[in-house]
Amino acid sequence: MTEFQKFFSQFMYTGEAIAALVSIIYFNREKKLHWKLFALYLVVIFLCESSVKWGEKALRIDRIILHNYFVMPMQFIFFYWLYAVKSLKKPKLFYIFSILYLIAFIPQTFLFVEKKVVYSLNYTLGCLFLMILIVMEYYKQVNSTEILKFSTNRMFYINMGATLFFIGTLPFMTFMSLLWEYRNIWDLYFAYFQVSGAIMYLLFASSFIWGKQN
């Protein structure tokens, strides 16, 4: 990893740390279960990243297994639940998207045996389902009076962050191995991945500070 990449990697890690700290501060102020779980989610993400960053060798952590079989499934399934069940009130979408996403691990495990930090099939499918929910959330916000109070709408901040990171990095994560042959493009997109990740977590933190518990 170049010094340029290390800098932006630390930038993203700092964003995760701020989001985790803010979620801890606001945890006891939350009245609804799903916002408490969102706060816990941010803490767990930070702890997972910290364990890899500081204790990968000492704790003998396999970052491939950790990311592919715990961190990313937890991210996608949690956001499916937050969007589909709690915000859009469409629980059937949560079950459909979650089941299809988990089924994708079957061909991924048996057909693509090469070890990668990110398996593009799972990530691509997970992002496509999340993108549908994000678009539905935008449609809901635009077509309601809540758009006039977007600065106090928690889902506005969460939706913006998810758009920048998950949707914005979808081409990079899907075609990562192909883009590697064009190193300049790969480096720029990797920098976007890290910067957008930091901004996403700062927006998540902002949702606690400025958003109301609607």
Amino acid at 156: F
Tell me, what's the pLDDT at 110?
A: 66
Q: How far apart are CA 124 and CA 1, in angstroms?
A: 24
**Half-sphere exposure (Cβ direction) of 177: Cα atoms closer than 13 Å:** 8
Tokens 């635009």 identify what position?
142
Q: How far apart are CA 8 and CA 190, in angstroms?
A: 9
Q: What is the pTM of this model?
A: 0.91
Cα distance between residue 175 and residue 118, in whole Å = 11
Per-position pLDDT tens, the chain of length 214? 667 667 778 889 999 999 999 999 999 999 899 999 999 999 999 999 999 988 888 888 888 888 888 999 999 999 999 999 999 999 999 999 999 999 988 876 666 555 554 556 788 899 999 999 999 999 998 888 767 777 789 999 999 999 999 999 988 887 877 778 888 888 888 889 999 999 999 999 999 999 875 5
Contact of 158 with 82, CB cutoff 8 Å: yes
What's the DSSP call for residue 166?
A: I
- Of residues 189, 193, 212, the one with CA closest to residue 201: 193
d(CA 171, CA 31): 38
Structural domains in the chain (count): 1
Q: Which one, of 122, 87, 120, 118, lies nearest residue 102 by Cα?
A: 122
Residue numbers of the domain that contains 51? 3-210
